Amino acid sequence: MPIIETKKLTKKFEKMIAVDTLNLQINEGEIFGLLGPNGAGKTTTLLMLVTLKPPTSGTATINGFDIIKQPDKVRKSIGIVFQDPSSDEILTGYENLKLHGWLYDMPSDLREERIKEVLDLVELTDRKDDRVKKYSGGMRRRLELARGLMHHPKILFLDEPTLGLDPQSREHIWKYIERLAKEKNMTIIITTHYMEEADKLCDRLAIIDKGKIVVLGAPKQLKKDLGGDIIRLKANALDLDALKKLSYIKDISSCEGEVCLTLEDASSHLQEILNVVGKIESVEIRSPTLDDVFLHYTGRAMREGTPEGSWAEKMMHASEKT
Partner 1 sequence: MSELKGIYALWYRETKVFLRERSRVISSIINPLLWLLIIGGGLGSAVSFGGVNYQTFIYPGVLIQTALFSSVFFGVYIVWDKKVDFMKEVLVAPMRRTSIFVGKILGGSTDTLLQILILFAIGFILTFVGVMPGLHLTVSSIAISLAFLLMTTIGLVSIGLILGSQMESPEGFQLIISFLVFPLFFLSGSLFPITNLPNWLAPFIFMNPVTYAVDGIRTILIGEQEKVIVGAIQLSPMLDFMIVTLFSIIMIGIGTYAFKKMKL
H/E stretch holding 269:
helix 266-277
Window contacting partner 1 (CB under 8 A); options: 58-66, 91-99, 160-168, 192-200: 91-99
Window contacting partner 1 (CB under 8 A); options: 48-56, 175-183, 189-197, 280-288: 48-56
Among 78, 206, 213, 260, binds partner 1 (CB under 8 A): 78
Find, among 38, 37, 34, the residue nearest to 46 by Cα: 34
H/E stretch holding 286:
strand 282-286
Q: Does 11 bind partner 1 (CB under 8 A)?
A: no
C-beta closer to partner 1: residue 53 or 204: 53
Which CA distances in Å does 202 have to 68, 247, 254, 312? 28, 34, 28, 23
Minimum distance from CB of 289 to partner 1 (Å)? Answer: 33
Round to whole Å and give the CA distance between 55 and 52.
Answer: 10
Residue 9's beta-bridge partner residues? 22
Minimum distance from CB of 69 to partner 1 (Å)? Answer: 14
Minimum distance from CB of 278 to partner 1 (Å)? Answer: 56
Among 4, 80, 124, 277, binds partner 1 (CB under 8 A): 80
Q: Does 110 bind partner 1 (CB under 8 A)?
A: no
Q: Does 294 bind partner 1 (CB under 8 A)?
A: no
The answer to whether 12 and 56 are in contact (CB under 8 A) is yes
C-beta closer to partner 1: residue 93 or 228: 93
C-beta closer to partner 1: residue 74 or 213: 74
Q: Does 102 bind partner 1 (CB under 8 A)?
A: yes
3-state DSSP: the chain helix, strand, coil percent, rounded to 5?
Answer: 40, 25, 35
Span 164-203, contacts to partner 1 by CB under 8 A: none
Minimum distance from CB of 257 to partner 1 (Å)? Answer: 40
Round to whole Å and give the CA distance between 47 and 26.
Answer: 16
Q: Does 86 bind partner 1 (CB under 8 A)?
A: yes
Q: Does 84 bind partner 1 (CB under 8 A)?
A: yes
Minimum distance from CB of 80 to partner 1 (Å)? Answer: 6
Burial classification of residue 143, based on how many CB atoms lie within 10 Å of its CB (0-12 exposed, 13-18 middle, 19 or more buried): buried
Minimum distance from CB of 313 to partner 1 (Å)? Answer: 16
Window contacting partner 1 (CB under 8 A); options: 70-78, 120-128, 164-172, 183-191: 70-78
Q: Does 82 bind partner 1 (CB under 8 A)?
A: yes
Q: Quick check: helix, strand or coil at residue 229? A: strand
The answer to whether 227 and 261 are in contact (CB under 8 A) is no
Round to whole Å and give the CA distance between 49 and 67.
Answer: 7
Q: Does 45 bind partner 1 (CB under 8 A)?
A: no
Round to whole Å and give the CA distance between 190 and 52.
Answer: 17
Span 116-145, contacts to partner 1 by CB under 8 A: 131
Residue 207's beta-bridge partner residues? 35, 215
Among 6, 10, 45, 51, binds partner 1 (CB under 8 A): 51
Round to whole Å and give the CA distance between 144 and 163.
Answer: 12
Q: Does 89 bind partner 1 (CB under 8 A)?
A: yes
Residues that bind partner 1 (CB under 8 A): 50-53, 72, 75-76, 78, 80, 82, 84-91, 95, 99-100, 102-105, 131, 147
